[in-house]
Amino acid sequence: MKRFLPPVIAFVLLVAFLEMAAAFEWVNPSLIPPPSQVLASLLEQAADFRQAFFETARNTALGYLLACLGGFALALIFSLNEWLRRAILPFAIFFQTVPIIAIAPLLVIYFGFGGGTVIAAAAIVAVFPVLANTLLGLESVDPGELELFRLYGASSWQRLWKLKIPKAYVSIYGGLKIAAGLAVIGSVAGEFVAGGGLGAMIDSARTQQRIDLVFGALLLLSFLGLLLIGSLQLLNFFVNRVRPYGLHLKD
């Protein structure tokens, strides 16, 4: 309980300050609406927000899952085959360095308007942290332990599954957490171009100068990110119950 108290207190103080700032006109309420107005807008258009939230959540989760599976699989392949690593890794770096908003129009051409483009955008943005962190963890194994496995005649796959992956768990988990937030960003970028979800609501509210709706959508996107991170922490908790890796829920 003590661990959750500081962020709760900080959130309450921030809400109170924003409410006072709008009431006493320290800020322009049309630019930074008070939390009470944002909450009223959320309740007023609850059905639209609920539909948009679940659409964004579904596409984000699918894109994130693809990124996790793809990044992990590529890292395993790269750790076993140096030639493939040199051939493919530059393309992964390319997708990481090019802004997703610049790639999104191409994704619309390839996948059309709707969920396909959003899922692809989320996956492209989120895949590199999973790939990079997993590869880093796999290559950070103690050479002495690797040599011991070789002395006992362990094959490459046995060294991978019995030694490298367990030792890389902390690094893999860090990559998954980073990718979770990036998947939400990628989804919203895809929705700006392909339509649908909270991204389309933000774009529509912007054209109508409804800043309260924009803040409401941002609040729901933050909640979605927290849900993803919380799910990872819960998964980490159960993994450590089965086999402790030295990484606890607070991490």
214 part of a folded domain? yes
Domain of 149, in residue numbers: 45-242
Same domain, 222 and 150: yes
Same domain, 6 and 62: no
Prediction pTM value: 0.87
Q: Which two tokens stand for residue 36?
A: 């009470």
Same domain, 96 and 175: yes
Q: What is the DSSP letter of 163?
A: I
Same domain, 160 and 187: yes
Same domain, 122 and 180: yes
* CA-to-CA separations, 53 to 28, 72, 166, 187, in angstroms, rounded: 28, 28, 36, 11
Same domain, 116 and 175: yes
Burial class (CB in 10 A: 0-12, 13-18, 19+), 204: middle
Same domain, 26 and 98: no
250 part of a folded domain? no
Q: Contact at 8 Å (CB) between 157 and 183?
A: no
Helix, strand, coil share of the chain (percent; to 5): 80, 0, 20
Same domain, 142 and 168: yes
Q: In CATH, what number is assigned to the domain containing residue 129?
A: 1.10.3720.10
Instruction: Give 29-79 pLDDT, tens digit per residue.
Output: 778 888 888 899 899 999 999 999 999 999 999 999 999 999 999 999 988
> How many domains, the chain?
2
Instruction: Give 179-222 pLDDT, tens digit per residue.
Output: 999 999 999 999 999 888 999 999 999 888 889 999 999 999 99
Q: How far apart are CA 251 and CA 245, in angstroms?
A: 12
